[in-house]
Amino acid sequence: MKSKEIIEILSTIDELRTITDVDIDIGDISISVKRNLHSSDSVEEPILPLFTKASSPAALAIPMTTDHSIATAGQIKFARDLVGKVFAGDDRAAMEFLAHALQLPLSEVPDINEWDNNLSKDMVSEILDRLEPLWKNNRRQDGR
């Protein structure tokens, strides 16, 4: 390593504000640099975001519009499509299946047209977990 390269490395280290201790080992050359920070070279603390209390007026002004327990539109569409494919228009069998899958009485099973507002992610998960194997079995039996 040439002395010019070593001088460039040392000048780069001197310009740094936060690093005070550097050890460089290149082949048989070893360089150790320790530098003391002067009061004018003080290290700046990073600015971290501040948090507010949940009960503060600023936090309460932000509306909570997203209900994370409601299933997404994609999940609901996928579940509707699978119900339609597996039961091929047999609404009675579909409702009985849903009652069994959701562990609800038949009268409490949400209507498929109201799923957009009523179906939770857990409910969709139960429906899909039970429908997907049925759909795969139907496809195998049909020879697809």
Per-residue pLDDT reduced to its tens digit, 119-135: 888 889 999 998 888 88
Q: What average pLDDT score do residues 72-88 get?
A: 88
Domain annotation covers residue 7: yes
Asked whether 80 and 115 are in contact (CB, 8 A), the reply is: yes
Q: What average pLDDT score do residues 110-119 get?
A: 84
**Where is pLDDT greater, at 117 or 54?**
117
> Are residues 82 and 32 part of one domain?
no
Out of 6-10, 36-40, 114-118, give the one with best mean pLDDT.
114-118
Domain annotation covers residue 133: yes
Q: How confident is the model at residue 85 (pLDDT cuts 50, 70, 90)?
A: confident
> Are residues 34 and 77 part of one domain?
no
**Listed range (26-35, 55-64, 72-81) with the worst mean pLDDT:** 55-64
> Are residues 30 and 86 part of one domain?
no
Out of 13-27, 32-46, 88-102, give the one with best mean pLDDT.
88-102
Structural domain count, the chain = 2
Q: Is the pLDDT of residue 93 over 80?
A: yes
> Are residues 79 and 25 part of one domain?
no
Measure the CA–CA gap between 29 and 14, rounded to whole angstroms. Answer: 20
* Bridge partners of residue 26, in order along the sequence: 29
Q: Is the pLDDT of residue 51 over 80?
A: no
> Exposed/middle/buried for 107, CB within 10 Å: 0-12, 13-18, 19+?
exposed
Identity (one letter) of the amino acid at 41?
A: D
Neighbours of 22 (CB within 10 A): 15
Structural domain harbouring 7:
3-38
